[in-house]
Amino acid sequence: MHDGFLRALQTQRSNLRQRWEALLRTERVSSPMAHPDTLVHLMDWTLDRLFDELRQPQMRLHTVCDDQRGPAQSCACGKNPLLAYFSTVEQAVVEALLVTDAHLESLSLMEKRASLQDLKHAVHAVARR
């Protein structure tokens, strides 16, 4: 991920967390463990892990090739309480990246696409753990 995107995401962390929580609260609750009031307590920890992944991409290179599936494709029944949790963080982070995009106009389209892919891979790596 381009350093400029990572810095921009880190500066938007509080907005990112608020957007994530708002998205999570709109999702259908599949079980008591999937209730947003239960999951919001994990958000700061998850964002810490996500930013760790983005800072150290070499730690996940081998897992990216092993499993291209997202969290939703890893659960056959669809009742895993973390499915909505991780799909909404991915949506919130991608939205934040698109907002950040306006501030990083000097990057090429290839660099922007690569940063978006890195972001998605990092979310999936955290979700797999």
Closest CA to 111 of 95, 126, 100, 127: 100
Amino acid type, 45:
W
Q: Residue 29 has what pLDDT? A: 86
Q: Residue 74 has what pLDDT? A: 60
| CA terminus-to-terminus distance, the chain | 20
Amino acid type, 86:
F
Going by the DSSP 8-state scheme, the letter that residue 129 receives in this structure is -
pTM of the model: 0.80
Q: Residue 56 has what pLDDT? A: 83
Q: What is the pLDDT of residues 4-63, one digit of tens each?
A: 778 888 888 999 999 999 999 999 888 888 889 989 999 999 999 999 998 886 554 544
If one counts every other C-beta atom within 10 angstroms of the C-beta of residue 19, the result is 19
